[in-house]
Structures are given as C-alpha cells and as structure tokens.
Structure 1
C-alpha cells in the first residue's frame, strides 16, 4: 500500500471517529451564519436616522445626505454638543426634548444652532423661549399651512395634529399650531417646534407635503445633528441608595430590633434536665420484635438483622458462661467451645462471621444460633433463676427446662 493511500485511509478513519463532533461544529457555524443573515443591520429606535422601520427616519436622512447635508447621529449630550461645536452652519434635531434639563438647553441655545424639537413640553419651551407656549391637542389629519413660512409654502398640505402650540412675540404658527417657528430667548438661532413628528417617519414621509416640510425644516443648513437623547444620559449627580430611604426608616429598625430582643428575653426558656413521661400507649415486646423484623425484611437488611441476632446471642452467652459483659467474641467462642465441645473456630464463625446474603441464609443463621444457645444451656446447667428470659418469638420446649 502506498504512502498516499495510507494517509487517505487515516484521514477517512479520523473523520469517521469524530463524525459527531464535526456535525456539531457544522451545525453551530450554520446557525451563526443564519442568525447573522437574519439580524437587521439597521437601528430599530424610534425616529432614528438609521432605522428602516416604519417609525424610523432613514428615508429623510438618506434624501438629506443626497442633497449634500451631512447627517451626524448623536446618542449622548456630549456627542450632540461636540457636533454643534465642530460646525458653523448646523441644525440640531432633538427627538425627546423632555429628557433634557434647563441647564443643558442653555448650553445648546448658546451654541448658535437652529433647534428643531419634536413634541416639546411646556417646561422645555419655558427654558428656551417666551414666544411659543403649549395650548392643547388636535386631531391628526392633513391640513393646509395657514402661514407664510417658506417651508410651509413649499410643502403645502401636510400631516398635522397632536400637541398644538400658540405663537407670539415674533413667532409664527402653521398647520393649526402643529408647526411653529420663532426666536430663542438666548442665542442667535431659531426654534422650530413640530407637534406631529410622524411626518418625518418612513411610514408617512412620502405622503402629501410631508417630505417637503421635513426636508425644508432639517435641510436648511449644511450640517444636521440628529440627537436621540438617552434617559440614562443625565446631568444629575449620582445619588446613593441610602439617600432614597425615608428618614424614619432607621429609627423604626432600631425600635423593632429592641422589641425583638425583649420578646426573646421574655419568651426564652432554659432547657432543664430530661424527665421521664408515661407513654400514651403500651406496646408488647412481641409486637416490637415483629415490627423490627418487618422493617428489616422490607429494607432487605439481612446483614443488619443478622447483627442484631448475634449481639443478642453474645449477650446471653456471656451471662450463661459467667464472662464479663464486655468480653470479646474470641473469649466467648473459647468459653462456649469448652462448655459444648464444639470447635472454637466454628463457634467464632457463627458469632462473628460473614453476613448472610439472602433471607434463607438468615433463617439458617438464626436456627444455628438457637441451637448453639440450647447446647450452652444444656452444658452449663443454669437454674431457672440464673437463666435470662428466652427470645419472645421462640417457643419453650421441654428439653429447655432444666
């Protein structure tokens, strides 16, 4: 056989031996590729310029980019502020104005950028301008501009409704108050309020004049910072958890601990000496023996039962032969062999041999121990007063009587 054939056979054998592992690796690789292919490659956040979902703003962002507007997405306040500082001609779109504090609005307004806010609340408007205030809600629908703003005239009828705003002191309201533009209180920029932000989304931007209104509003400058505020990105100082606890908590814990200690001292009792109490019922010894036997039988504890039989036999043999109650098995075997004439090794095997393997062997052991006891009693000749009580499960025979 050639070397090439041997190598091919070895490789085939290796593949056969590790076929299971190879199939597992291939399955994992296929799963990873499938998950990668099925995972969407765009952002799923609402109003995100990278989201192709119906609630995203990818369509507007792509059209703005084709028109020469550089769209920069910001997920944090520092990123948004940095984007404003790096550009001179910039528009800032804030999708969640209610998440920003008054201090942050002051810094954004001082940057000189034009601000576009989606559904701002009364607190945000109060921090930025005195010319626009929230008034209420309107039914969503397509409305005419009703104003002379260039963006509104270019768009014509567009989607409006939702929160409405009133304009004063140089501000202009369009689309029934859903679109308002006015000056900022601080800074040279302008403020545009969009009460119906769905006109920027992929779902509605292509209908009516929504696209024109969105492009005029967001594409007025060369750079657009698209800011998606994060609820976790806050300028509030970190507060420890202990500061959130009510002031009465720790005094209450101290009072409860003191009350618990007093209760322990009041109800606690020192354990005294053991005392005997009468049993509620009397159980005959024979029933106890039979119960133990049934338990041994159900547990298949032939060895444990044999140990109990041998210990009882040893206790009686020590008494009959006059040995010390603590005498060992070899001494008992020698004494029993001298009394009965049996070989000492055989007696020792009977008293401390291997455990029986099954119930028939256990029965034979019990019979042999019984016979050994009869021989010892017959050889030692004890009187009835000296003889200990016989086993409750054994019937007294005539030859057992001295």
Structure 2
C-alpha cells in the first residue's frame, strides 16, 4: 500500500467509525434521559410529600391524614364549620360565641397568635407545640408520646367523661392551674385552661382526629365534645404565604449588586471555554505521512537490532512464534490452540517423538548465534515435513 492509498483510506470515515460515534452519542442521550427522569421523579415525589403534609388535619381533605370526617360529624350535629385559610378572614369570622381550631402556626409571630386567639370564646389546639403551649397554657410543655393503649380521662372534665377512654398519642406536662386528663406516667394527653369565659384546650389531633383514626375508641366523641360547645367553629388552616415574621437576609441581600452579574459572566465564560477546548466528535482528519517504509526494511532493521544486542533467545522466540502459527494453520488448528497442542499434533502427524518436536518448537534454548541458525534450519525442516505430510500432492513434481 502506498502513501497515497493510506491517505485516501484515512480521509474516508469507515462504517465502524460511524457506529462508534453513534454509540457515543447514544450513550450521552441515554445519560441525559436518565438524569431528566430522575429529576422528574424527584420533583413529583417532593410535590407529593408537600401536598401530603399540607393536607394533614385539613377539614376539607378526605385523605387518611385529613379531618373531613370530624368536620362532617360536627355539621351533622348542628355546628357550623367555617374553614378559613387567611388570618384576616379568620379574625373577621370569629365572634364571642365561636370556637377557633388551630393547627401548628410556625410562620406567625407570638403577637399574631395571641391576637387571633383572644378574639375567640374557645380555642382548641390540635397540633400543640412548645410555643403555643407557652403562650396559651402558661407553664405547659410537651412530654413525648404515650403508649398505644387506651386510658380513662381520670379528671373532672365533663367532655372527657362523655368521650370515654382514648389512646392519647402525644402527652404534655401541665402548668399551674391547668386541668389535665388522660394520664400516661406523669404526663397527660389533654390539657384545658379556663380564664372566665375563655377556654383553651390542647390535644394531639394528628393521632385522634385524623380520618384514619377517628373511629377508634372515643376519638370522635372527644373531638365533637371539645369543638362543638359553640354553634360556630372557625377552623383555621394557615396558607403558604401566611407569615408576619421578618425574613432573614438572603445571600443576595448581603452581597454587593455587582456580584450576581459577575457570577453569570464567569459561568458563561466557563461553558464557552469547555465548548472551545472540549473534545469534538467528527470524521477522521487526513494526515500526510512523512515517509513510507517497506515491510522488508522493517524486518531487516529489527534483525540487525537483535544481532547487535546478541539476543539469541528473543530471536528464537520470534522464529518459533511464526513457525507455530504456520504449522497450526497447516494442521487446521484454531487460533486458540496452545504451543504444546500444536507441537503434539505435529508429532502425531509426522510420527516423530513428542519430546523432540517440543524441543524444536518450544523447549530448546540456543545459547549463541550458531545454535540459533541451527534452530532456524530445524524449524524450516519441521514445517516442510508437516506440509508434506498434510498435503503431499502439492509437493510432488
């Protein structure tokens, strides 16, 4: 093959190159699809978890964690249940003869919570936290969870006695002057504080009043007894934007205005540099070869190197490897045949001693150049004998 042929072959992309590029592009496309799928699944799961948490104790939610069942029972008993999701609307709906049902309100300040609760005749905390207990039931604190067994009220509260035994879930330590019911060890599952006509109750609504657990024990009766003491129930469900707290300064607020544009410019520059210096997949580029070397010259040059270094063993290995390949092909052995298998097959074909054939093809080590030449002659004689034994008709004149 001439240099021109090599250049022409190099300038034309082969089908193998096209398949390789296709596989690379396919791999990148598959990676991109997998990343998009993982991101989409993660977003869906995150949104589902957010919606599931948002629907907890929601009086309009029929989900297992919602509270629609309790709201409907109150309505069936003649109590109007008004669901509000805005703090101002809740304050406007409250009357001196209304019960305010409150979940946890971490986004509202202490002042906003007390302003809202002071308007109602009665407040029922269905997700008591340390802050609301401190604000509305002075001195009371959370105390963990009770064992999952029903206990009697063991207090003088009529609403609890009518409801009967319950498994209270979360329990609390009452403050001074707070009535406590449903004891578990030294804590209680229901706290009630009264100040004249104003009363505040605290109970674990997630355990007792959710749709999935409302039918257990006296849960439904307790919920109706606590919330149905007045003709109107204002059930406040805080929205996502319900907050009067001053937010903490963000990173953008703390940095100079020129930082964001500089970051964007640096990102764009980094992407441009990656595209510029990145690896490009395209056809092979033709390159002019500096010189064309004949195979015979390469062989002669390698032989001179072996002779100059007096490396007879390496030269013998090269001669034997070539001879083994040719003998194996003549004998019809596959490329996976070992040197010993080829030597044994040649000995069987010729009827020679196996050790002698193995010595020629494998074992004998020439210590000098004279022995190397003799080994070359023996290899040549062996090849000729095998070829004559396999195809004698081709060697007859």
> What TM-score does the superposition give when structure 2 sets the normalisation length?
0.48
Structure with the greater alpha carbon radius of gyration = 1
